[in-house]
Amino acid sequence: MRLDLSRVWKFYLASGLAAALAWPVSIFVRTPQVALVAGALLFCVLLIPLLALVSALSEAEIGELRGFLEFSAVVSKPLEFAISYYKRLHDVFHPKPST
């Protein structure tokens, strides 16, 4: 799979925003294990909508990702869920004009 390098900055932007929003968990939660789990979950929950908001993946890249998932049974279900969630959010944030 070839990622269009002109859109890589969108991954950095979305990841940085998700990390900045998840970072306060480490301040308010005193138990390191709980802070790690809560911060990681919050980061993942925020990352997919932010990626969809900035249109980090093209339709062709989504199709290629789905093609790769056919060969890996272990991670295919969670990643397929993430891809379909991304696709739904992308359609909400960037609706196609009706003709």
Number of domains in the chain: 1
User: What does the buried/exposed string (b/e) look like for 10-34 if buried means 16 or more CB atoms within 10 Å of the residue's CB?
Assistant: bbeebbeebeeebeebeeeeeeeee
pTM: 0.80
pLDDT in tens, 48-83: 999 999 998 888 888 888 887 777 776 778 888 888
Is position 33 within any domain? Answer: yes
Is position 2 within any domain? Answer: no
Is position 98 within any domain? Answer: no
Is position 57 within any domain? Answer: yes
Name the one residue in this structure whose structure tokens are 């709980």: 34
User: What does the buried/exposed string (b/e) look like for 41-51 if buried means 16 or more CB atoms within 10 Å of the residue's CB?
Assistant: ebbeebbbbbb
pLDDT in tens, 6-33: 778 888 999 999 999 999 988 898 899 9
The domain of 72 spans 7-93
Closest C-alpha among 54, 51, 58 to residue 2? 58
Task: Give dist(CA 45, CA 31) in Å, integer.
Answer: 21
